Amino acid sequence: MKRVTPTDQSSRAWGHAIALDEASTTPLFAQIAEALAADVRRGVLRPGDAIPGSRTLAEALGVHRNTVLAALRELEKQGWIRSERARGTFVSEALPELRARAPEVSRGDALFDVSRVHPDVATAVPPGSLPLLGGVPDVRLVPTEALARAYRRALRAPRLLGYGDPAGALVLRRALATMLAHTRGLAVEPDDVVVTRGSQMAIDLVARALLRPGDVVAVEALGYRPAWEALRASGATLVPVRVDRHGLDVARLAELAETAPLRAVYVTPHHQYPTTVVLGAPRRLALLELARRKRFAILEDDYDHELHYEGRPILPLASRAPRSVIYVGTLSKVLAPGLRLGWVIAPPPLREAIVAHRTYVDRQGDHVLEHAIAELAEDGELARHTLRMRRIYLARRDSFVSALREIFGDTLRFEVPRGGMALWAQARGVDVDAWAERAAKRGVYVQTARRFTFDRRPRAALRLGFGALDETELRRAIGMLAKAL
């Protein structure tokens, strides 16, 4: 006998919404039957869906159970439903009327104009595939047991299930302020930090609070498209500035600033996204001086600061010029992107506006999770985990680089990245987009340069990630990538 699935149980538990007209000359059982049949036609009920029991329906509709039983008998006689002894009643899989009739209105239709927006999200890969996607961590390494214990302890405080501070739980803001002071040289207090659902929300909130339609924002010509779209959604005009092996071309930005009233520049100076290059000290100083002189904001996205392998991590721009820089970060790389934990630090007037917009967009974050993460930070587990991840990803980087050079030779040219979870490779004599398509058919997924170019034009380059797979998996993925070539 087939078991009742959770979906069947939940369908029955919810009952079913049906509007009855007691003043109508149509009997109530016929109204119920017709309403259920109409829901099947509209797709509210689908073939195989469980129908609530007669007692549940009768109680929900305020009618006698015999009325519901009469309606169900009528539907079964017409072929809309089927009954199974000891299991229940289900929408029939054989519905000739549905096959014969075209739907009157498609679910995709709207009776008003809608602007088309195509989300640019991380490539979804089927289970069992080998993702060589840049910036994707290995979520198998998350300290789930420690996190689960901390989360259970946080759940014991019922107040955390109510409304809280839209800037984030104070305990996490305090922990982040301590971490940022020690690891990034930022002189911040808990009240300077706004906790967000990942760095993407932080960028969106900054755009809402800072930008107005027509504002000019400079961005890296090779960069992170979701951030561009968040800035563009606030009405900003984006202007690309070239990126070379030293990062953003600040001299070109200075020329732009002389001809356009810049409102802001969006940069990834620590490990430029996607090329991974570090913005050198001379350009950093020039950028800060230019922002001070021209009075524009620097939106600094420091998305993977913890993962730096060679030498000391470069301190953020925000550590030198907190009045000019809006600093965005995330725990997605050292923990997991699904936890959706990021932050933004901004000068006080802008921070207040960001918090206000947060209340309009999301009201607040997950304070239970925020308390759990704060506990991991306070007892040192987060710092220990970060060190573990740095060692593991460094080993994976070295193994990945060795295998790429061994198998591809001069076909792929790249510099070994000083940090992060990806490298930027130039391909010689290869159509990288066609190569990526062939690789995907073999179950290996890569990101080509077209995904990161401002003008969406193809280039002979790829961003290859090594974070999500262990060293054995990386070797296997590279071998399959070679076969696709």
- Is residue 1 over pLDDT 60? no
> Tens digits of per-residue pLDDT, 448-478?
999 999 999 999 999 999 999 999 999 999 9
Pick the CATH number of 6-100 from 1.10.10.10, 1.10.1040.10, 1.10.3720.10, 3.30.1360.100: 1.10.10.10
The CATH number given to 140-383 is 3.40.640.10
- Which pair of tokens denotes residue 215? 């504002």
Given a contact cutoff of 8 angstroms between Cβ atoms, the answer to whether 218 and 253 are in contact is: yes
Mean of pLDDT over the chain: 90
- Domain locations along the chain: 6-100, 130-138+389-484, 140-383
Sorting pLDDT into bands at 50, 70 and 90, what band is 12?
low
Distance separating alpha carbons of residues 472 and 452, to the nearest angstrom: 28
Q: Dihedral sign for Cα 410, 411, 413, 417, please.
A: negative
> Tens digits of per-residue pLDDT, 173-225?
999 999 999 999 999 999 999 999 999 999 999 999 999 999 999 999 999 99
**Does this chain's domain 130-138+389-484 share its CATH topology with 140-383?**
no
Distance separating alpha carbons of residues 266 and 287, to the nearest angstrom: 12
Residue 274: closest CA among 455, 418, 447: 447
How many percent of the chain have pLDDT more than 70? 93
pTM exceeding 0.75: yes
Task: Quote the pLDDT of residue 6.
Answer: 44
Task: Quote the pLDDT of residue 122.
Answer: 58
Distance separating alpha carbons of residues 21 and 30, to the nearest angstrom: 11
Q: Name the CATH superfamily housing domain 130-138+389-484.
A: Aspartate Aminotransferase, domain 1 (3.90.1150.10)
In one-letter notation, the amino acid at residue 186 is: L
- Is residue 3 over pLDDT 90? no
Task: Quote the pLDDT of residue 126.
Answer: 83
Top pLDDT among 95 and 424 is at 424
Burial class (CB in 10 A: 0-12, 13-18, 19+), 362: middle
